[in-house]
Amino acid sequence: HVFMGEPGETYFSTSDIGWVVGHSYIVYGPLIAGMATIMYEGLPIRPDAGIWWHLVEKYKVSVMFSAPTAVRVLKKYDASFIKDHDLSSLKALFLAGEPLDEPTAQWIADALGKPIIDNYWQTETGWPILSLCNGVEPASSKFGSPGRAVYGYNVKLLDDQTGAELTEPGQKGVVAIEGPLPPGCMQTVWRDDERFVKTYWSSVPGKLVYSTFDWGIKDEDGYFFILGRTDDVINVAGHRLGTREIEESISSHPRVAEVAVVGVADQLKGQVAMAFVVVKDASTLTDDASRLKLEGEVMKVVDEQLGAVARPARVRFVSVLPKTRSGKLLRRAIQAVCEGRDPGDLTTMDDPAALQQIKDLLA
């Protein structure tokens, strides 16, 4: 109903086998549905940026599942790596794992000429909370939104201070799910029921609801927009800002491929935003003058879209961002390095040199 896979077709998930997607989406799901499934180990740019699309063409993939972070990596390369392949078998590209910003969605939609369908879920839920169920009723994608609540989930936006339900379009609240959770979702924390209740069901005042720990808004059509983690909010001189909102603003600059924004402790303002950016063409940043010029341009974009209070204290340019092998940005590790703290367990990091690059910039 979500992914529209049919028996006899081929399914391709680009995710890391060690993530929850690895077993459920790469192995069990497609095979139970009577589909062939591709298990691929490697980067989307090796041996070149067309490797995924070569596989789609070769094996006539009809359903493909990937992550927004991977698409942002591909944005640094010419779209011809995609367009040079016969992708006529592909029905849609599904993206999940991190919020999908509108510029990235638009770029991959233009390059593929196929529907781009975002879906929002968590390891704890095992399957989409928010998506478009085109297998039930066709609906239009809205770039920047994963869609509406999927059947089985009673999703609400709640005020994080009072627990009151927010029903007006555009109101920002915590994305929460009224119990009971549908089949397939977590039932407890192994051998620790008390922790399960305390962590997931007790964080919204006065309400026994499952908290996703994500901020969101909902429009007049019932489409949700995820704004980022509730603990990724930074407090700049008394103003509460979501790092996700600043990242999306920076992503709209035409030269930006990827960005990570973290809040860093500041004696004067409490916290300031620090941005780390990967540009599409690194050859354009050859000296301090070119970097300062682009930094100013990026800050101006944030000024115009979100206001001066959201402007990052600095925009630093790196060749790669620290990520897990499944493509999730390690924002906590970046923040720890910026504040001179131990970044902790980094066993899931794909490329340790990425964090070292940030340390060197701050030295």
140-147 mean pLDDT: 92
Other CB atoms within 10 Å distance of the CB of residue 295? 18
**Same domain as 164, residue 120:** no
* Residue 60 pLDDT grade (very low, low, confident, very high; cuts 50, 70, 90): very high
- Which range of residues forms the domain containing residue 167? 154-222
Average pLDDT of the chain, as a whole number: 92
134 and 193 fall within a common domain: no
Structure confidence at residue 326 as a pLDDT band (50, 70, 90): low
Q: What is the CATH number of the domain that holds 45?
A: 3.40.50.980
Q: Both 72 and 125 in a single domain?
A: yes
Residue 332 has pLDDT above 70, yes or no: yes
Cα gap 324→330, rounded to integer Å: 7
Same domain for 356 and 257?
yes
Q: From CA 159, how far away is CA 20, in angstroms rounded? A: 30
> Is 141 found in the same domain as 164?
no
Task: Report, as an integer, the average pLDDT of 174-182.
Answer: 96
Average pLDDT over residues 140-165: 94
Please write the tens of the pLDDT for every residue from 64-118: 999 888 898 898 899 999 999 999 999 999 999 878 888 889 999 999 999 999 9
Asked whether the predicted pLDDT for residue 262 surpasses 80, the reply is yes
Q: Which residues face 315 on adjacent strands?
A: 275
Q: Flag whether pLDDT at 185 surpasses 80.
A: yes
Residue 73 lies in a domain: yes
CATH code where residue 319 lies: 3.30.300.30
Q: How open is the CA angle 360-241-124, to the nearest 5 degrees?
A: 85
What pLDDT digit, counting tens, does each position of 270-297 carry?
889 999 999 999 999 999 999 999 999 9
Instruction: Establish if 4 belongs to a structural domain.
Output: no
Q: Domain check: are 92 and 190 in the same one? A: no
Distance CA 239, CA 270 (A): 10
Question: What is the pLDDT, as a whole number, of residue 21?
Answer: 84
In a domain, 35, yes or no: yes
Q: Where are the alpha helices (DSSP H) in 34-84?
A: 51-59, 68-74, 80-83
In a domain, residue 124? The reply is yes
56 lies in the same domain as 180: no
* Sign of the Cα pseudo-torsion (344, 256, 70, 283, in order): negative
Distance CA 351, CA 180 (A): 40
CATH code, 164: 2.30.38.10
Same domain, 26 and 127: yes
**32 domain residue, yes or no:** yes
Based on the domain organization, do 138 and 180 belong to the same domain?
Answer: no
Q: Tell me if 5 is assigned to some domain.
A: no
- The whole-model pTM stands at 0.78
Instruction: Supply the pLDDT for residue 259.
Output: 95
Question: Do residues 142 and 158 both lie within one domain?
Answer: no
In a domain, residue 274? The reply is yes
- From 116, 146, 176, the end of a domain falls on 146
353 shares a domain with 237:
yes
Q: Rounded to whole angstroms, how far apart are CA atoms 50 and 124?
A: 33
Give the total number of structural domains in the chain: 3
Statement to judge: residues 92 and 206 lie in one domain: no
Highest mean pLDDT among 66-70, 118-122, 242-246: 118-122
In the listed set 222, 240, 269, which residue is the last one of a domain according to the structure? 222
125 pLDDT above the threshold of 80: yes
Whether 237 is covered by a domain: the verdict is yes
Final residue before a domain boundary, out of 222, 238, 269:
222
